[in-house]
Structure 1
Amino acid sequence: MADQLAAKLQQEEQVDSPTTTLGRIGEIVEKATGVESEQVTAGTSPSDLGVDSLSMIEITVRCEEAFGVRLDDATVLGFSTVGEFADYLDEHAAAEA
């Protein structure tokens, strides 16, 4: 299933991608859940966005592809806000670059 999702992600066009990590996460959340990216703020929790377990898997895979960071379930489930997740991605994307 992850391979199929990765293939789908590669086919999607990247038009007017935001430049901040938080903005990029917002677009990923919008694609996975339909929640408008503007509703995704640093203080927003996944439950505030109505993210279910399947959506979280899709968001995780999309973020791995977009940021080049490997994410495990325990790490992803440990974040209480989108801002914490964005900070983690910033730190680890720089380390893996």
Structure 2
Amino acid sequence: MAKAISNSDNNIDLHGRLGSILGRSFQINPNNLQESTELASLGIDSLSLVELANSVETEFGVPVDDRAIENLKTIGDLVAHISLSLPENTGIGP
């Protein structure tokens, strides 16, 4: 499992790692991603969103439950979920 990033790491690292996931899994150019980019506009449907959630869990060590998946509409939503769910914000160890 990849090392979970801490919330004190800069957003560039978070965005870079998320961009890498999207590039590998969905052939999306990470340079075109902005926080306002809608996941649906990237061709990410509900099934793809489950795959993305699994990749986020693996990469960041952050669980993404079914309720959270339903609320992820943009890259910014995903970044916020990851950031808020990092171990230092949940009281759980890495």
CA RMSD of aligned residues (A): 2.2
Shift in Å, 1:82: 0.7
Output the TM-score relative to the length of structure 2.
Answer: 0.73
Residue ranges of structure 2 left out of the alignment (5+ in a row): 3-11
Residue ranges of structure 1 left out of the alignment (5+ in a row): 1-8, 11-18
Q: How does 1:67-78 map to 2 (within 5 A)?
A: 67-78=60-71
Q: Which has the higher contact order (CA 8 A, sep 6+)?
A: 2
Count of matched residue pairs: 82
- The answer to whether the 8 A contact 1:32-1:55 is kept is no
Question: Distance in 2 between the 1:67 and 1:50 partners?
Answer: 23
Shift in Å, 1:36: 1.0
User: Percent identity between the aligned chains?
Assistant: 25
Shift in Å, 1:54: 3.0
Output the TM-score relative to the length of structure 1.
Answer: 0.71
Question: Distance in 2 between the 1:22 and 1:66 partners?
Answer: 12
Answering whether residue 72 of structure 2 is matched by residue 66 of structure 1, we say no
The aligned residue for residue 3 of structure 1 is: none
